[in-house]
Structures are given as structure tokens and as C-alpha cells.
Amino acid sequence: MELRLAGLRHAYGDIEVLRDIDLALPTGRVVCIVGPSGCGKSTLLRLIGGLERPDRGEVVQTGEPPPGCLNPLTYIFQDFALLPWRSVEGNVRLVLEDHGLGRAETAGIVDDVLARTRLSEFRTALPRQLSGGMKQRVAIARALAVSPAFLLMDEPLSALDAQTRELLLDDLVDLWVRERFSAVYITHNLEEAVRLGHRVVVLSRRPGTVREILEIDLPLDARAAHASDLEAHRTRLWQLIRDEAQAVDLELVDG
Amino acid sequence: MAEPEGAGRPVAFRGGGFSPRPQGVVGPLVFIAVIALWEAGCRAGVIPPLVLPAPSEALAALLYLVETGLLWKHLGASLQRLLVGWTLGTLLGVAVGFSIGLFSLARAGLAPVVAAIFPIPKIALLPLFVIWFGIGEGSKVATILFGTFFPTVVATYGGVDNVDRGLIRMGQSFGLSWLSIVRKIILPGALPAILPGFRISAAIAIVLLVAAEMIGAEFGIGAYILLAGSLMATDELLAGVAVLSVMGLTVNWLIARAERFLLRWRT
């Protein structure tokens, strides 16, 4: 299954946040979307997953989601969005309950995703007992439970401290190497973009348009060893964004 | 004034304070002291018995109530009214609160009505309820029901409004059904606001219970207090008040237990 964005435009009231976005999202690849703050990255992600309706244009799905997929377009949120009154296990089960899977099958899926995210021994813990990194791993486990065709990740590491972010970034790379999932990954962190993205889409400042698309050919699991290549990509991205970021910084918030 | 090398003064401590610590024994001690002082005043003749009977006399009146079995009759009648009125008022209140929180039409139609009736002291409506529902149990239960309904509505829809929209969007993004979102996300998310509402409505219910029992009730703590008052039996009056206090404390304790159990996921 692939996704294609065709002529997306979106505005909040008089403020146009996205303009003429055309983009193909291939299967089995991670597409990172970067841009200065307020360029409509998160709005774009909400449009892709159908949480918001674009003013113009459409998001088109081609092909069918793989068999066994319960929720083709699945989000991972910046603030984790875990139910605080449910345990780790309960949070994963939440997204399976409406599918009429039966007790054994549900338990099987829960066991499986908790094992894959190394959370099995924390299954009865409540979110408040978990660190930020662990919470995000629970959210990842929950997303994996519905076997998504696309993971839509909205700055999943931005609420975490630098060390946790580094650890979880490695986890995500490992996960991709094992599962080869398709993903759209929104971030303002260029380091994350060059570590995780097969393709990096640079948005301009508001109203966001696609400014440039950068392909990074290095395989994900080899990237840690090619720090200098990554640095070159990162520098290139920063040159693209720098002036815009500076201009955004000087804008008045409600101007 | 030059100080020798290596010597110096420690930096003065300026922090601390502004954080009350639990002091277990102080509360009961104050209680005992006040009652002892009161008893002593009565025995010494400083406080005339008609103005304020000694605690020991009030206690005797209470024991007499227990011995004759009248306490259970009064308490039973009161608790029944309280339970029926409060339960119905709360159930209806939660239901209406949820519909105001969830449906635009209900909000537009009902929220102004609730806002208009909420501040009316329901005691003022008591004579009207007597006309509508009769002098018997009907008017008493209706008063309590009415009194508990409005604060529950306000607390409930406030709670629904305050549920984290991010969690609701998460539910939608996983394709949860509307009912699942309401049941599994909005209801538990609104509970931290609904339960304190119960506390307030329970206190209101006890106030209204006593008021309602002062009109045409044979049994009930309120009727007992009214009768004692009109006979100038201040010791019995105080015994009745003590029962009310214990009733209020018990209800509070029960709700606190429920809160601790239902909200144990909170930090």
C-alpha cells in the first residue's frame, strides 16, 4: 500500500498553513519531514492520517493494506497519548478491543508486541510509573499491535531528554531493520532526520510548501558508521532551513 | 573588619516553611480540650444549662435514643431518603452532564437552564415540592434529588470538557467506536472532576434532608431535632446534631475511599 498527497492545501481561518503539497509516500521507507517551527508539519501529518480534512486536494491510498492489518494509518504522538488509568498491557489492549478478536488472539498480540519492544516485565505498570522513553515504547508497542501499513510519527522523540532520545532512536533503527515498516516521521531535529530518513522532505516556512526532497542512500543500520556522510547531509539540510528558521524567529506570534 | 584566611561564617538558612506537615495528635487534642472546657464550664455554672447543655447531658440523650431504639428508626428514615434522593439526583445529573458535554444541541439547550436553576437555594422550593409531590416521602426525596442534580451536572460536564483532547484524538486515530471513546476515554478522564462533585452534592443532600424533614415528618433526624428544639430540649437537639455530624463524616469518608480506589492511577 502506498500513499500519495495531491495538491494539499490547508488553512486555519485566514492563516494558510500548507500550500500545494504533492508528495509520494512509498512503502517500506521512512520519509522524514523537516521544516522550521510553525510550518505546518504536524497539520500535514494529521491530514495524511485523516484526523483533519484538507481544504483542497486529497490523500490517495493506492493498493490494499497487508492482510491482518487492523488500522492502516497509525499514529505515534509526541506526548505518547497513553491512558493514565490503564496499565501498559491495558493501553495496548485498548486498540484491539473494538476488533472482536477473541481473548486468546488479543492476548497473543499483546504478548508479542510487548516482547518486541522489551516491555514484557512492565506489563502491569501504570504510565505514571514509567519514564518518558518507556512511555514512548509503550506507544510504539500499541502502534505495532494493529499491524499498521504506515506509521505516522509526530515528533516522537521531542518530549524526551537527549540521552533517552539517542537510545530510542537506536531502537527505532533496529525496529525498522527488523520490520521494514513504512513511515512518515515529522521532526524538527535534523540529526533524527538523517539517521532515520530514507528520504527527507524539507518544508518552507508558513505557508508550508515542499522546498526540497533529499534522498539518503545509506542503509539505516550502516549509518552510525558513516558519521561524516550524515554530517554532510545534516549540514545541507541546515543550510536549507537556516534562513527560514531565522525569519520565523523574528515573526510576531499573532502577526 | 578583616577575617583570617580560611575562617568565615556559614551562609544563613532562608528556605523552608510554607509546607504544612501532618501533625497526627493535634486534631484529637483540640477536640478533647474544647469538650473538656465546655463540660467544666457547665459544671461550674458559668454556662446555664438551657443555653448550652453539658456534653455529658447530650451524650446521655444520645444513649437514651440508642436504648429505646428510636435512633435506628430516625436514622433509618433519614438514610433512606438520603440514599434514594442522592442516588437518583446523581444518576440523572451524570447523564445530563454527559449529554451537555458530548452533544452541541444538549449544551445549547440545557446549559443555560442549568445555570439559571443551579444558584436557587432548593429550600426555597420546598413548599412547592410539598404541593407537587405531597407532604410524605415524595417531597423530601424530590428536594434532595433536585439539590444534588445541579451540582452533579455542572461537575460532570466540566469534567467532560476537561478530558485531554489528545487522548480522544488518539482513540479516533486507532478507529475506536464512538461508544468506546466515551466509555474508555471520556468517562474515566472526567472522573477526577465528577467525584469531588459527589462530595459537594452529598453535603448539600444532608442540609436539604434536615430542612425537608422539618415539614411533616414523623421520623428522621431532622424531625427529631425540630421536636427537641420546640420542647427546648437542647440536650436532645445537640444529640441530633452530633448524629448529623457523624453522618456527614461517614459519607465523606466513603467518597474519599471511592476516590482513592477509582483514581489510584493518578500521581
- pLDDT per position as a tens digit, B85-98: 999 999 999 999 99
More confident residue, A136 or B6: A136
pLDDT of B4? 65
Residue A207 has pLDDT above 90, yes or no: no
Query: Residue B173, SS3?
Result: helix
Residue A253 has pLDDT above 70, yes or no: no
CA distances (Å), B253 to each of A221, B14, B192, B201, in order? 58, 38, 17, 14
In angstroms, how far is CA B216 from the centroid of its own chain?
25
List the single best residue of A71, A83, A146 to mutate versus B (max B Cβ within 10 A).
A83
Are A95 and B166 within 8 A, CB to CB? no
Closest CA in chain B for residue A79: B166
Cβ pairs bridging A and B (under 8 Å): 47
Residue B2 has pLDDT above 80, yes or no: no
CB A94 within 8 A of CB A60: no
Which pLDDT tens digit goes with each residue over A61-83? 988 888 889 999 999 999 999 99
Minimal Cβ distance to B176: which of A98, A128, A142: A98
CB B141 within 8 A of CB B122: no
Characterize A49-74 residue by residue with b for buried, 16 or more Cβ atoms within 10 angstroms of its Cβ, and e for exposed: bebbebeebebeeeeebeeebbbbbb
Beta bridge partners of A150: A73, A182
Q: What is the mean pLDDT of residues B250-258?
A: 92
Q: What is the mean pLDDT of residues B239-244?
A: 93
pTM surpassing 0.90?
Answer: no
* Mean per-residue pLDDT of chain A: 90
B162 vs A: CB within 8 A:
no
Q: What is the mean pLDDT of residues A24-35?
A: 92
Q: If pLDDT is split at 50, 70 and 90, which confidence band does A254 have?
A: low
Closest CA in chain A for residue B178: A98
A77 vs B: CB within 8 A:
yes
Instruction: Out of A183-197, A214-228, B179-193, pick the least confident.
Output: A214-228
Q: What is the mean pLDDT of residues B119-147?
A: 91
Are A84 and B265 within 8 A, CB to CB? yes
Contacting residues of B for A75, CB less than 8 Å apart = 170, 173
Are B174 and A49 within 8 A, CB to CB? no
Minimal Cβ distance to A98: which of B170, B177, B188: B177
Closest CA in chain A for residue B175: A71
Alpha-carbon radius of gyration of chain B: 26
CB B235 within 8 A of CB B57: yes
Q: Is B194 exposed, middle or buried (0-12, 13-18, 19+ CB in 10 A)?
A: buried
Are B176 and A85 within 8 A, CB to CB? no
pLDDT of B150? 95
